């Protein structure tokens, strides 16, 4: 699906298309609607650039206890813990 945003809307934001796309992606991420990987794939941001964009907006990585447990299990399976 493609979404058409009228030029006058884009102009009124005083943002470039890429800036507007990033704002939309980060809003969806902050609401838990899309993952960090989807944001990065859509916007072309590296992991570090993504984290810097979050920091600049006072946002945090969505990382819950289940993800932490999964990471611990992975590290244990790799004999890193």
What are 8-48's pLDDT values in tens digits? 998 999 999 899 999 999 999 999 999 899 999 999 999 99
According to the model, what pLDDT value does residue 77 have? 93
Residue 38, phi then psi, degrees to nearest 5: -65, -40
Closest CA to 9 of 20, 1, 18, 23: 20
Spell out the domain ranges in the chain.
Answer: 10-77
- CA-CA distance, 81 to 79, in Å (whole number)? 6
According to the model, what pLDDT value does residue 48 have? 93
According to the model, what pLDDT value does residue 42 have? 95
- pTM, to two decimals: 0.74
Estimate to the nearest angstrom the gap between the alpha carbon of 72 and the chain centroid: 23
Using the predicted structure, report yes or no on whether residue 68 has a pLDDT greater than 90: no
Average pLDDT over residues 57-69: 86
User: In sequence order, what are the residues at sequence separation of 6 or more whose Cβ sits closer than 8 angstroms to the Cβ of residue 29?
Assistant: 35, 36, 38, 39, 59, 62
């Amino acid at each position: 699906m493609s979404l058409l945003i009228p030029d006058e809307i884009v102009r009124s934001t005083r943002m470039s298309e890429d800036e507007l796309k990033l704002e939309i992606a980060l809003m969806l991420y902050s609401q838990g609607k899309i993952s960090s990987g989807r944001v990065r794939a859509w916007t072309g941001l590296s992991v570090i650039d993504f984290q810097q964009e979050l920091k600049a907006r006072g946002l945090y990585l969505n990382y819950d206890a289940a993800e932490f447990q999964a990471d611990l299990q992975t590290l244990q399976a790799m004999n890193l813990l």
